[in-house]
Structure 1
Amino acid sequence: MNINLRHFPGDPDRPAIGLHCMMGSGGLFEPLMQHLDGAIDLRAPDFPGHGRSDDWVPPADDIDLHTFATRYAAGMIDRPMDLIGHSFGATVALRIAVGAPDAIRSLTLVEPVLFAAASRESNRAEYERLASFEAADDWDGMLQQFLGDWGAAGPIPTEGAKADRLRRQMKMVVDTNDGLMSDRGNILREGGLEGINAPVMLISGQDSPPIVHEIAEALAARLPDVGRATIPDAGHMLPLSHPKQFAELTLMNLERA
């Protein structure tokens, strides 16, 4: 499976990894890097089925996408690195940090969608938001609901190759949501978050779905060295809509490390 790796050059002594959201790509970090002015040297993979990478085909050992992404990103680390993650990518970064805290120099996390960290009621409501569409095999309707909830960047196509890929990605979202709702990666295990010694910055958009603020609060309560920030008038896709504020907060966390 070919995985496309994007490179945004910067300080070679400050290597970093960018981990994008579902239905996004490593290109998500280009606006951030334009504002960081070379402070880090960032590599950002396109997850399978996203960007310029091949479609997702589960490997022979039948691992899920979250596990695959975690193993791939962890394999890029050869010394303590700064990890920057958005949404799904932020949960991958957290999973790496819990598993290998010494490999992390800093964590900058935009709205990690670790639904298992929220209350049972919020978790259930998030599941039910898409469940009826799945039951009706209505993937176009689910796309409209999902991208409407989380911030679609423009009109959603319903015909052609791009629409077909969005439908395939939507099916991947359903599978990864199941894993994040049950914490299949065991990120929330006892002592796991507490063992992360690197500085963590949790960034949220003021106008994002309420569950992301609930998740951030739950994670912050367990992390030893954590800062929280909420960007006014921003939603879930704040890395694209508010890159300057995102960069300022990222730089603040980089400097803390």
Structure 2
Amino acid sequence: MPKGIRAGQPTFWQVFGSGPRPALAIHPSLAHSGIWAPIAAALPDLTLTAFDLPGHGQSGPYDGATDYQKLSAQIAASFIDRPLDLIGHSFGATVALRLAVAAPEAIRTLTLIEPVLFVAAKGTDEWAAYTADEARFYALLDAGQHEAATREFVSRWGAGQPWDTLPAPVRATMIRQIQLIAAAGHANATDPGQILRDGGLEMIDAPVMLIEGAKSPPIIHMITKAIAARLPDVGVARVPGAGHMLPATHPAQVAGLIAVNLERAQ
């Protein structure tokens, strides 16, 4: 399990499998690269590399010098030396989408699991509800109530397990990392990387699969709809009974859908 400097950032990564197809997976906020292990095990055609985002897992801390999404995309790009299958979940999916728009020729297939590019739904009722929820979260964060802010965030974007039943070390790690949600949130709400620029999504000619949970926050479904409408070659799948953290709660279904997308680019 190697560790080195990527885009100037101390970065930990691991490689799952030894299949003929190179792949890169980018995890969500408040998680780590290990979330991909059960999914990779179900995809024997892949040699899947997954890294820990700044401030997560065993990677170094985030110093705030570079926009968080931009830095994450630069780290991810450092792992790409030939066209590959790119997979991302939540914030990781926004990083994957930013890469795909910037260098569509580097992508063999693209799988986006609930990309939290909230600005894609701007102007909808779902956007209004989301911004109200975010206002409560940031009020707690700004007041220094980090545990309460983390509880608020996890209640909407976690795996459905009540906060008080999570193991104490898990809660402590999430509380320590909660400021990273604010760091990532700027890009999710404003799109400084211009992912949604005119003609950007339309340039992705690789097969794309958008995966969402049936029980996820309503804004996710609006984001999926907005992005899918602009992609030339896209499939959309909704996993029954799943919420936002479906790679952790429904890995078999997610792996099966990724496999379907892989088959579209043999």
Same fold, TM-score > 0.5, yes or no:
yes
1:94 pairs with one of 87, 91, 97: 97
Structure 2 equivalent of residue 223 of structure 1: 231
Segments of 5+ residues of structure 1 without an aligned counterpart are none
Partner residue in 2 for 1:52: 58
Counterpart for residue 6 of structure 2 = none
Distance 1:170 1:97, change over 3 A: same
Q: Structure 1 residues 27 and 215, CA, compared in 2 at 3 Å: closer, same or farther?
A: same
SS in 1 for 2:110: strand
Task: Give the deviation of 1:129 after TM superposition.
Answer: 3.9
1:1-257 paired onto structure 2 within 5 Å: 1-11=9-19, 13-36=20-43, 38-58=44-64, 62-120=65-123, 121=125, 122=127, 123-152=130-159, 154=161, 156=163, 163=171, 165-257=173-265
Q: Deviations over 1:33-83 (max 9, x none)?
A: 1222x111000000111111122223xxx2122111101111111111100
SS at structure 1 position matched to 2:256: helix
Partner SS, residue 48 of structure 1:
coil
- Residue 50 of structure 1 aligns to a residue whose secondary structure is coil
Q: Distance in 1 between matches of 2:253 and 2:89?
A: 15
Q: TM-score, normalised by structure 1?
A: 0.92
CA RMSD of aligned residues (A): 1.9
- In the alignment, the residues of structure 2 paired with residue 155 and residue 232 of structure 1 have an alpha-carbon distance, to the nearest angstrom, of 20
Count of equivalent residues: 252
Amino acid at match of 2:33: G
Letter matched to residue 25 of structure 1 = H
1:148 is displaced (CA, Å) by 1.0
Q: CA–CA distance in 2 between the matches of 1:238 and 1:42?
A: 19
| CA distance in 1: counterparts of 2:134 and 2:96, whole angstroms | 23
Which ranges in structure 2 are unaligned for 5 or more consecutive residues? 1-8
| Aligned-residue offset at 1:2 | 2.1
- The alpha-carbon deviation at position 165 of structure 1 amounts to 3.8
**What is the TM-score with the length of structure 2 in the denominator?**
0.89
Letter aligned with residue 226 of structure 1: V
Residues 95-116 of structure 1: CA deviation (Å, up to 9, x unaligned)? 0000000000000110000011
Counterpart residue type for residue 55 of structure 2: G
2:225 alignment partner AA: E
